[in-house]
Structure 1
Amino acid sequence: MRAALNAVLLAALGAMAAGCSIDTTIPGRATKIVPATLYDPCTLPDDALHAIGVDPASAESDFVGVQSEGWEVCDWEADWFYITVFTTDVTVEEFRARPRTADFRAVDVGTRDAHTFRSTAASQLGLCDLVYSSSRGTVLIRADTKANEQIREDPCTVVLRTAVTLDPYIPD
């Protein structure tokens, strides 16, 4: 089930990123600034991963075995949930503008201008995303309830706590 959801996410996010690109060859159009190198979330230290309650040995660095251009991703497993950290050139505003984005709220993560949001898709009711800009790409952190597991805590509470804990390790 998780593999299928990640495949759907990859397709949707890839299509969104492709559909939202800005043509820089037209005079007068805005230029989208893309970092030369996206931050690799799989470089987060083990002590930080233990602090958020995930197993560092469970790291997966792709979408169901598929690398995706324009995205860096790392996923870890905890007892009843997964944490995934993505970096991309998709902007915070592009995430906000997605048709299925709901409940977009400003939150405090250190000095960052961060936001949590949920999806209106029924298949994504057990997850919450948190997004902010960094010097090495837009960071998206996701808390996702495991299939067949009870939600023990609001995923937005989990993702916010995770973001605050990981904040010192992610580039400004």
Structure 2
Amino acid sequence: MRLVGFAAGVCAVLALAGCSKAVDGQPEASGAPLTKEQLFDPCTVSDSVLRAAGLDLASKDSNLFSVPRAEWKGCGWRADGYFVSFMSTVYTTEEIRSNERYHGFKDVTVMDRNGLQFYIGNETPPVECEIAFDTTQGRALVNASKFVDSKSTTDPCALAANAAPHFVGSIPR
């Protein structure tokens, strides 16, 4: 039953994230189009990073999108009352900024990496936030999303900001 709840939560996260929605434009980094094979693989992050971030290693979901996605790679884990996903995408920062599902953009620095933080969806208060980092292998994203039944008043961007420092060292330059 917990697995069904987890799967339902992940589906909700992905629906809110707009992962099923196409983003206009051509994916590219440094002027050259990227393919999924060229993306950084976030699922290779070490167990020590996941433990440090307070994630349940046994809850790993390496099929975040339920169907293969040519534009994304990623894995997700449960934390205390929320999910954390670590993903990579071929979409550029400009394409992320132009996606109507994303809002509240804020430039942030996590450790020594510049990132773009934003909310996903139009729930009030917000339930999902991502921080995107540019890399030579696409954009790397740390996503935090509250459980569907969460009563927490914690801002999801605070959850993403707390998780992100643990992942930054795993993100390629």
TM-score, normalised relative to structure 2: 0.82
Aligned equivalent of 1:11: 20
| Structure with more contact order per residue of length (Cα contacts < 8 Å, sep ≥ 6) | 2
1:66 and 1:123 mapped to 2: Cα distance? 29
The offset of 1:38, in angstroms, is: 0.9
Unaligned runs of 5+ in 2: 1-7
Give the aligned partner of residue 34 of structure 1.
34
Match of 1:21 among 2, 7, 26: 26
Larger radius of gyration: 1
One-letter amino acid matched to 1:21: Q
After TM superposition, list the pairs within 5 Å mapping 1:155-166 onto structure 2: 155-166=156-167
Number of residue pairs matched?
162
Poorly superposed stretches of 4+, deviation over 6 Å: none
Identity level (%):
25
Contact 1:85 1:142 survives alignment (8 Å)? yes
Instruction: Say if 2:121 and 2:128, in contact at 8 Å, map to a contact too.
Output: no
CA contact (8 A) 2:12 2:148 kept: no
Q: Unaligned stretches of 5+ in structure 1?
A: 23-29
C-alpha change, 1:120 and 1:75, in structure 2 (3 Å) is closer
Tell me the distance in 2 between the aligned counterparts of 1:73 and 1:3.
12
- For residues 48 and 113 of structure 2, the distance between their equivalents in structure 1, rounded to whole angstroms, comes to 22
SS at structure 1 position matched to 2:34? coil
Q: CA RMSD in A?
A: 2.4
In structure 1, distance between residues paired with 2:81 and 2:61: 17
Q: Is the 8 A contact 1:10 1:63 kept in 2?
A: no
Question: What's the secondary structure of 2:133's corresponding residue?
Answer: strand
Give the structure 1 partner of residue 112 of structure 2.
111
Greater shift in the superposed pair: 64-73 or 141-150: 64-73
